[in-house]
Amino acid sequence: MTTAQTTRVALVTGGSGGIGRAVAERLGADGFAVAVHYAGNAERAKEAAAAVEAAGGRSLVVGGYVADEQAVAAMFDEVEQAFGGIDVVVHTAGIMLLAPLAELDLDDFDRMHRTNVRGTIVVAREAAGRVRTGGAIVTFSSSVVKLALPTYAGYAASKGAVDAITMILAKELRGRDVTVNAVAPGPTATPLFLEGKPQEAVDRLASMPPLERLGEPADIAEAVAFLAGPARWVNGQVLYVNGGVA
């Protein structure tokens, strides 16, 4: 861990595992100082931070629930104090609870809405006031918004809200030279995606893309690195990163 200022600084929410960790490692390899956020597992966050440093970046571990505005503000304060500012915010934190709509537990839906929608609003609102000129905000949507897969109604609804938030914020930041985009992964081999799915279902989903495999977290991190770095003329977009699933 270091408290020195570096050229570019990224905050990755949900950076302790899955896609978030891959994003943190990739940005570290690109020379970023990366703040790895976690909500519940500090040890995994420390492991991810060590991986960032092994990749060549600097690291910091920060915690807090993304839907809690005070915790998020404190988290941003900590990153700014450690690294001198924030250039990129990547908001990967989210939860997925699946059920047919007729059987959807409304408490589960409320949990997803609070984390996925309110959490995105809280993090994006804080990022909008803090990201430096030339920076980027990257939210996380999902390809299921357009794929309309059974059992995904509640989750897809929460991610459709992320699409709207992202496109509107991009317009609201006119004149700031800050891009705002969403990444919408398809089926990706993460613990969040694989949990509770029989192998038959996994195989069926892996066969959907023309490339005939599940995505890997590194595939998604590649797209995030593009939006966080060279993609200065991509703004207000939802980038589908799914191997060609349509």
Tokens of 105: 């537990």
What is the spatial distance between Cα 183 and Cα 204, in angstroms, rounded to a whole number?
Answer: 23
In percent, how much of the chain has pLDDT > 70? 98
Is the Cβ–Cβ distance between 38 and 45 less than 8 Å?
yes
Task: Note the pLDDT of residue 58.
Answer: 95
Spell out the domain ranges in the chain: 9-189+217-241
Task: Note the pLDDT of residue 159.
Answer: 98
Task: Please name the CATH architecture into which domain 9-189+217-241 falls.
Answer: 3-Layer(aba) Sandwich (3.40)
Task: Note the pLDDT of residue 83.
Answer: 97
For the stretch 90-144, pLDDT in tens is 999 999 999 999 999 999 999 999 999 999 999 999 999 999 999 999 999 999 9
In percent, how much of the chain has pLDDT > 90? 89
CA distances (Å), origin 82, targets 3, 40, 163, 236? 5, 22, 31, 30
Catalytic site residue from 38, 65, 152, 155: 155
155 is catalytic: yes
Binning pLDDT at 50, 70 and 90, where does residue 195 land?
confident
Residue recorded with tokens 């992320």: 162
Averaged pLDDT score across all residues of the chain:
94
Task: Note the pLDDT of residue 5.
Answer: 46
Largest CA distance in the chain: 53
Task: Note the pLDDT of residue 99.
Answer: 96
- Calculate mean pLDDT across residues 148-167: 97
CA distances (Å), origin 18, targets 69, 116, 184? 24, 16, 15
- Model's pTM, two decimal places? 0.94
What are the b/e assignments for 54-88, b being 16+ CB within 10 Å? ebebbbbbbbbbbbbeeebbebbebbeebbeebbb
Task: Note the pLDDT of residue 119.
Answer: 98
For the stretch 205-226, pLDDT in tens is 899 999 999 999 999 999 999 9
- Any bridge partners for residue 227, and if so which? none
For the stretch 25-55, pLDDT in tens is 999 999 999 999 999 899 999 999 999 999 9
Tokens of 18: 């899955």
Is the Cβ–Cβ distance between 140 and 181 less than 8 Å?
no
